[in-house]
Amino acid sequence: MRLEPLTAPSIVRKVGFPIAALCGTVFIASMLAMLAGANPFSVLGLILKGAFGSQFALLETLNRATPLIFTGLAVAVAFRAKFWNIGAEAQLYAGALMTVLLGTGALPWPSIALLPLLALVAILAGALLLLVPAILKTRFGVDEVVTTLLFNFIFLLFISMLLEGPLKDPMGMGWPKSARLVQDARLPRIFESLRLHWGFGLALISAVGIWVIQTRSTLGYEMRAVGLNRQAAAFAGIPVNRVLLKTALLSGGLAALAGFSEVAGVKASLTLDLSPGYGYTGIIVAMLALLNPLGVVVAALFVAGIFVGADSMSRAANVPTYLADMMLAIALLLMVLAILLTRFRIVRD
Amino acid sequence: MEIVEILFTASFWAAAIRIASPLIFATLGEVICERAGVLNLGIEGIMVAGAFAGWMAVYSGTGLWVGVGVAMVVGMLFGLLHSALTVPFGLSQHVVGLGVTLLATSSTYYAYRLALPEVTSPPKIVAFQPFEISLLSEIPIVGEALFSQTPLTYLAFISVAVVAFILYRTPLGLAVRAAGENPNAVAAQGLSVTAIRMGAVIFGSGLMAVGGAFLTMSAFDSFFFEMVNGRGWICIALVVFGSWRPGKALLGAVLFAAFDALQIRVQQTSIGTAVPYQIFLMMPYILSILALVMMSRRAEIPAALMVPFNKGER
Measuring CA to CA, how many Å separate B162 from each of A292, A310, B166, B235?
47, 46, 6, 19
> Number of residue pairs across A and B with CB atoms under 8 Å?
130
Residue spans per domain, chain B: 2-113+150-296
A217 Cβ contact partners less than 8 Å away, ≥ 6 residues apart = none
Q: Structure pTM?
A: 0.93
Q: What is the DSSP letter of A41?
A: G
Chain A partners of B103 at a C-beta cutoff of 8 Å? Answer: 326, 329-330, 333
- Give the SS3 label for residue A345: strand
What does the alpha-carbon distance between residue A338 and residue A150 come to, in Å, rounded to a whole number?
31
pLDDT at B122: 84
**Inter-axis angle of helices A278-288 and A55-80, nearest 10:** 80
CA distances from B313 to A61, A251, B83, B309, B310 (A): 45, 34, 20, 8, 6
Tell me which range, A237-241, A306-310, B66-70, is most confidently predicted by mean pLDDT: B66-70
| Cβ contacts of A52-61, under 8 Å, gap ≥ 24 | A52/A305, A52/A309, A55/A194, A57/A308, A57/A309, A57/A312, A59/A194, A59/A195, A59/A196, A60/A308, A61/A301, A61/A304, A61/A305, A61/A308, A61/A309
Mean pLDDT within B145-160: 89
Which among A333, A335, A340, A343 is the top mutation candidate for probing chain B, defined by the most B β-carbons within 10 Å of its own β-carbon? Answer: A333
Q: Which residues of B touch A326 (CB under 8 A)?
A: 103, 106-107, 110
Q: What is the DSSP letter of A273?
A: T
Lowest mean pLDDT among A53-57, A90-94, A98-102, A164-168: A164-168
Q: Which residue has the higher pLDDT, B159 or A193?
A: B159
A345 pLDDT exceeds 90?
A: no
Cβ of B226: how many Cβ atoms within 10 Å? 9
* Distance between start and end Cα atoms, chain B: 60
Q: Which residues of chain B make contact with A153, given a CB cutoff of 8 A?
A: 229-230, 233, 282, 285
What pLDDT digit, counting tens, does each position of B125-136 carry? 888 888 877 767
Which distant-in-sequence residues (6+ apart) come within 8 Å of B5 by Cβ? none
Query: What pLDDT shows up at residue A347?
Result: 84
DSSP A43-92: HHHHHHHHHHSSHHHHHHHHHHHHHHHHHHHHHHHHHHTT-----HHHHH
Q: CB B276 to CB A153 under 8 A?
A: no
Q: Which fold has domain B2-113+150-296?
A: ABC transporter involved in vitamin B12 uptake, BtuC (1.10.3470)
A323 to chain B, any CB pair closer than 8 A? The answer is: yes
Average pLDDT on A145-150 reads 90
Q: Which residues of chain A neighbour B96 with C-beta distances below 8 Å? A: 333, 336
Whether the per-residue pLDDT at A93 is higher than 60: the answer is yes
> Taking the CA of residue A64 as centre, how many other CA atoms within 13 Å lie in the half-sphere pointing to its CB?
24
Query: Taking each helix axis from N to C terminus, what angle separates A111-140 and A240-262, rounded to the nearest 10 degrees?
Result: 140
pLDDT tops 60 at residue B314: no
Least confident of A46-50, A134-138, A171-175, A336-340: A171-175
Q: What's the CA gap between B239 and B249, in Å, rounded?
A: 6
Asked if the Cβ–Cβ distance from B110 to A330 is below 8 Å, we say no
Residues contacting residue B77 through CB under 8 Å, at least 6 positions apart: none
pLDDT at B1: 58
Inspect the interface and report whether the beta carbons of A333 and B276 lie closer than 8 Å.
no
Q: What is the 3-state secondary structure (H, E, C) of chain B?
A: CHHHHHHCCHHHHHHHHHHHHHHHHHHHHHHHHHHCCCCCCCHHHHHHHHHHHHHHHHHCCCCHHHHHHHHHHHHHHHHHHHHHHHCCCCCCHHHHHHHHHHHHHHHHHHHHHHHCCCCCCCCCCCCCCCCCCCCHHHCCCHHHHHCCCCHHHHHHHHHHHHHHHHHHHCHHHHHHHHHHHCHHHHHHCCCCHHHHHHHHHHHHHHHHHHHHHHHHHHHCCCCCCCCCCCHHHHHHHHHHHCCCCHHHHHHHHHHHHHHHHHHHHHHCCHHHHHCCHHHHHHHHHHHHHHHHHHHHCCCCCCCCCCCCCCCCCC
Backbone phi, psi, residue A178, to 5°: -80, 170
Contacts of B149 (CB under 8 A, 6+ apart): B14, B17, B18, B21, B130, B131
> Which of A71, A85, A130, A145 to mutate: most B Cβ within 10 Å?
A145
Alpha-helix runs per DSSP H in chain A: 11-35, 43-52, 55-80, 88-103, 111-140, 144-164, 198-216, 218-228, 230-235, 240-262, 278-288, 293-317, 322-343
In the predicted structure, residue B313 carries a pLDDT above the cut 70: no
Q: Give me chain A's average pLDDT, please.
A: 91
Contact at CB, A147 and B292, closer than 8 angstroms: yes
Is residue B145 a contact partner of residue B13, using CB atoms and an 8 Å limit?
Answer: yes
- What value does the mean pLDDT take over residues A125-136? 95
The answer to whether A3 faces chain B, any CB pair under 8 Å, is: yes
- Give per-residue pLDDT as tens, A195-206: 889 999 999 999
Does B278 sit within 8 Å of A161, measured CB to CB?
Answer: yes
In sequence order, the β-bridge partners of residue A4 are A345
Give which of B40, B102, B113 to mutate to test A binding, by max A Cβ within 10 Å. B102
On chain A, the residues whose CB falls within 8 A of the CB of B106 are 322, 325-326, 328-329
What is the C-alpha separation between A321 and A305, in angstroms, rounded? 13
CB nearest to A329's CB, from B106, B236, B286: B106
Beta-carbon count within 10 A of B265 CB: 19
- The pLDDT, as a whole number, for residue A171 is 76
Distance from CA of A157 to the nearest CA of B (A): 6
Task: Give me the interface pTM, i.e. the ipTM.
Answer: 0.91
The pLDDT assigned to B267 comes to 81
* Nearest neighbour of B276 by CB, restricted to A165, A284, A340: A165
In Å, how far is A189's CA from the nearest CA of chain B?
34
> By the CB < 8 Å criterion, does A55 face chain B?
no
Any chain B CB within 8 A of the CB of A347? no
Choose from B87, B198, B260, B282 for mutation: most chain A CBs within 10 A: B282
Question: Is residue A149 within 8 angstroms of chain B, CB to CB?
Answer: yes
Cα nearest neighbour of B235 on chain A: A146
Q: Write out pLDDT tens, residues A288-341.
A: 998 999 999 999 999 999 999 988 888 888 889 899 999 999 999 999 999 999
CB contact under 8 A, B91 and A340: yes
| Chain A residues touching B90 at Cβ < 8 A | 3, 340
% of chain B surpassing 70 pLDDT: 97
> Between B87 and A8, where is the model more confident?
B87
* Alpha helices (H) along A104-180: 111-140, 144-164
Residue B312 is predicted with a pLDDT of 64
| Residue B82: closest C-alpha in chain A | A333
Residue among B94, B98, B297 whose CB faces A140 most closely: B297
B239-267 confidence digits (pLDDT tens): 988 889 999 999 999 998 998 888 888 88
Q: Which one of B106, B281, B313 has the shortest CB-CB distance to A325?
A: B106
Distance CA B173, CA B164 (A): 9
Judge: B311–A2 Cβ closer than 8 Å, yes or no: yes
Greater confidence, B31 or B127? Answer: B31
pLDDT tier, B100 (very low <50, low <70, confident <90, very high otherwise): very high
> How far B214 CA sits from the closest chain A CA (Å)?
22
Question: How far apart are alpha carbons B6 and B261 in whole angstroms?
Answer: 10
The reported pLDDT for the residue numbered B275 is 84
Note whether A30 and A336 are within 8 A (CB): no
What's the rounded mean pLDDT across residues A131-137? 94
Highest mean pLDDT among A136-140, A185-189, A222-226, A253-257: A253-257
What pLDDT is recorded for position B84? 96
The predicted structure's pLDDT at residue A96:
97
- What are the contacts of A180-184 at 24+ separation with CB within 8 A? A180/A104, A180/A268, A180/A269, A181/A99, A181/A100, A181/A103, A181/A104, A181/A263, A181/A264, A181/A268, A181/A269, A182/A103, A182/A104, A182/A105, A183/A111, A184/A109, A184/A110, A184/A111, A184/A114, A184/A115
Which among A178, A77, A85 is positioned nearest to A129, based on CA atoms?
A: A85
The answer on pLDDT for A130 being more than 60 is yes
A150–B103 CB contact, under 8 Å: no
pLDDT at res. B299 = 63
**Minimal Cα distance from A35: which residue of B?**
B114
Tell me: pLDDT of B139 over 80: no
